[in-house]
Amino acid sequence: MSTVTLTQAASPSSTAPTASPPAVETMTMAAALNRALHDALTEDERVLIFGEDVGALGGVFRVTDGLTAHFGEARCFDTPLAESGIVGTAVGMAMNGLIPVVEMQFDAFAFPAFEQIVSHVAKLGNRTRGAMQMPLVIRIPYGGGIGGVEHHCDSSEAYYAHTPGLTVVTPASPQDAYSLLRAAIASPDPVVFMEPKKLYWSKGAVDTSIVAELRRAEVVREGSDLTLISYGPSLPVALEAAAACAEEGRSVQVVDVRTLTPFDDETVMAAVRSTGRAVVIAEAPGFASVASEIQARVFEQCFEYLEAPVRRVAGFDIPFPPPKFEHWNLPDVDRVLDAIDTLHWEEAR
């Protein structure tokens, strides 16, 4: 992973720290995002955070916990329940030199702001021939796995990935949550930052001196027999499936796409060419999806290397089901292993 070193920032507590925290700590993804926001606010006075309940409450998932107490209501504040107004206000702020970071609270809550995102956030740079930048981050908690009801669990990444002018990022680990969010805030271009809700409480080591390079995928597990390609909430499923395959004697490589668009063809295609087999795993419905785009790109660029058709394991083409039934819709290890079994192993070289 390409990295650059950042200046060590202060701890995200509500009182001034007495000493700098260690560069590497174990924390949840939610805490890593909180630290990234805190460090960005500390290092650049142009950064502002706002959205529904992000202030005193600290957000529904407590990602902004303590930020208003530490930085004041001028830097982290609540807004009315009006997503279009939130993003529209952020556009005006970005046009005038600020760096707004807004939260949409839940994935489907962002749809009222979709017109602002598509018509203005994504297009303003092109409309002005690059004369005006749009340093804006839109944070969207997304995906299933938390037993949420309709409008609270959705996989809407394809809408944003289909929109030229947007960088669409989704982390799958606490380290990437921190380093990718720092990179998103530092970007001069608009970033839709999609946070897997069911991974907010996952834990891992985080090096706060590192910021990831946007637009780069990462091989998170080496293997020689096949490649699993995934991102965000489905990456743990891919890793679990790879571990299950290892018990059967199959060496499985896992690629975390991380940035959905612009897509890192170089890393992903090199991984597929090295194994000759691929399965794409994603929670969103499979039709006209990010998973289908990845599948098409692999076929176009790796056809002569493939030993078998590229398979997809995705959510079903239905509205997101009620909490009691969501486990049937979300990709799991058994479905991934079933797809792997179809990859023409009897014709292995």
Please give the positions annotated as active site: 152
Phi, psi of 146 (to 5 degrees): -120, 5
Q: 156 to each of 41, 114, 285, 310, how far by Cα in Å?
A: 28, 11, 9, 23
Find, among 47, 50, 41, 48, the residue nearest to 11 by Cα: 41
Phi, psi of 312 (to 5 degrees): -120, 140
- The CA-based dihedral angle spanning residues 240, 272, 194, 232, taken in that order and rounded to the nearest 10 degrees: 0
Tokens describing residue 132: 């005006």
Q: What span, in angstroms and rounded, lies between the C-alpha atoms of 240 and 334?
A: 10
Q: What span, in angstroms and rounded, lies between the C-alpha atoms of 115 and 123?
A: 11
Estimate the crossing angle of helix 290-302 against helix 265-275, to 10 degrees.
Answer: 60
Whether residue 262 is preceded by a cis peptide bond, meaning omega within 30 degrees of 0, is yes
The conformational region for residue 179 under phi > 0 = left, psi -120 to 50 = alpha, else beta, is alpha
